[in-house]
Homo-oligomer: A and B are copies of this chain.
């Protein structure tokens, strides 16, 4: 069975494992803190690759940042990782084929092949974490756009520069639907500058009235974003993944979305491919695993 060395590159952690063409993890999960210098990052990549490259068919990176359409380099800047990182010449890191894709796109592909959007030609995945990632599958193919950077969830859901976003703009979906967005909504609603996301989630569990109200405002912002995506894409399914997806009520969201959209009914569901879906999807993409469509 063919397999990939999969490496997940984030701003704080780098993971690696082995993934086969069924989307199964067939190696140990190794975890590293993301080095602070570019030279150390490249050294770490080389060390991981040296250890495994003779046992795999391909090297698969799931990385932060937008990835080009030839799947070998990063477009523009990537936020919370060293400035030089986007210059990385991934193909030079191994004698085996090297394949690079954005981490959210990889996770969406894992859901498409083995997870919550299996057998769905049209799906949109939203990764609700500290920020919001996006991955779009159309007609059974990963949608990348003219340059490879498509699927950025920075459409605006508010008017009048009400809330700054990490992207430098304001009022973006990410600024409301992320974990950070929940905290800001909590601060704005409660007037307490020290309130945390944790406080809201604990309050929700304990049926605290104010915390439930704050959570509902946040979930409603997510609903409003999904309504827009459903009207634009007419997808079979919208998949919610990431640490914050755990807390949302997808049955309620589905009902609300279908009440408001002008396209045909869709479903909103939670991701099923697990915590390492980025590496699984990178492996599947690098190994060329796709559906019949």
Using a CB–CB cutoff of 8 Å, the interface residues on chain A facing chain B are 66, 75-76, 121-122, 134, 136, 138, 143-159, 162, 167-169, 171, 173, 176, 221, 224-225, 227-229, 231-236, 260-264
Residues of B within 8 A of A233 (CB): 145, 150
Complexed CA–CA distance, A75 and B76 (Å)? 41
**CB-CB nearest in chain B for A143:** B138
* Whole-angstrom distance between the Cβ of A141 and the nearest chain B Cβ: 8
Do B145 and A260 touch across chains, with their CB atoms under 8 A apart?
Answer: no
- SS of A interface (majority): loop
Q: Given B121, B147, B152, B176, which contacts A231 in the complex, CB threshold below 8 Å? A: B152
Do A224 and B156 touch across chains, with their CB atoms under 8 A apart?
Answer: yes
Complexed CA–CA distance, A152 and B262 (Å)? 7
Residues of B within 8 A of A144 (CB): 234
* Whole-angstrom distance between the Cβ of A159 and the nearest chain B Cβ: 4
Complexed CA–CA distance, A229 and B144 (Å)? 13
Q: Given B66, B75, B155, B235, which contacts A146 in the complex, CB threshold below 8 Å? A: B235
Do A232 and B159 touch across chains, with their CB atoms under 8 A apart?
Answer: no
**CB-CB nearest in chain B for A227:** B156
Q: Given B150, B167, B264, which contacts A75 in the complex, CB threshold below 8 Å? A: B264
Excluding A66-B262, A169-B227, A169-B262, 10 further A-B contacts by CB distance (< 8 Å) are A145-B234, A146-B235, A147-B264, A148-B234, A149-B263, A152-B232, A155-B231, A156-B227, A156-B228, A167-B260
* Whole-angstrom distance between the Cβ of A197 and the nearest chain B Cβ: 20
Do B122 and A145 touch across chains, with their CB atoms under 8 A apart?
Answer: yes
**CB-CB nearest in chain B for A77:** B262
Residue of A75, A151, A262 with most partner-chain B CB within 10 A: A262
Complexed CA–CA distance, A151 and B264 (Å)? 12
Given that A158-B159, A234-B150 are contacting pairs, would A263 and B66 also be in contact in the complex, using a CB cutoff of 8 Å?
A: yes
Complexed CA–CA distance, A221 and B167 (Å)? 19
Residue of A134, A148, A234 with most partner-chain B CB within 10 A: A234
**CB-CB nearest in chain B for A263:** B149
Residues of B within 8 A of A147 (CB): 234, 263-264
Residues of B within 8 A of A155 (CB): 155, 227-229, 231-232
**CB-CB nearest in chain B for A154:** B231
Complexed CA–CA distance, A284 and B66 (Å)? 35
Q: Given B156, B167, B235, B263, which contacts A262 in the complex, CB threshold below 8 Å? A: B167
Complexed CA–CA distance, A167 and B259 (Å)? 11
**CB-CB nearest in chain B for A124:** B232
Do B154 and A157 touch across chains, with their CB atoms under 8 A apart?
Answer: no
Residues of B within 8 A of A138 (CB): 138, 143
- Give me 10 A-to-B residue pairs in the complex whose CB atoms sit less than 8 angstroms apart, sorted by A's number: A66-B262, A66-B263, A134-B232, A146-B264, A147-B234, A149-B234, A150-B232, A150-B263, A167-B262, A232-B232
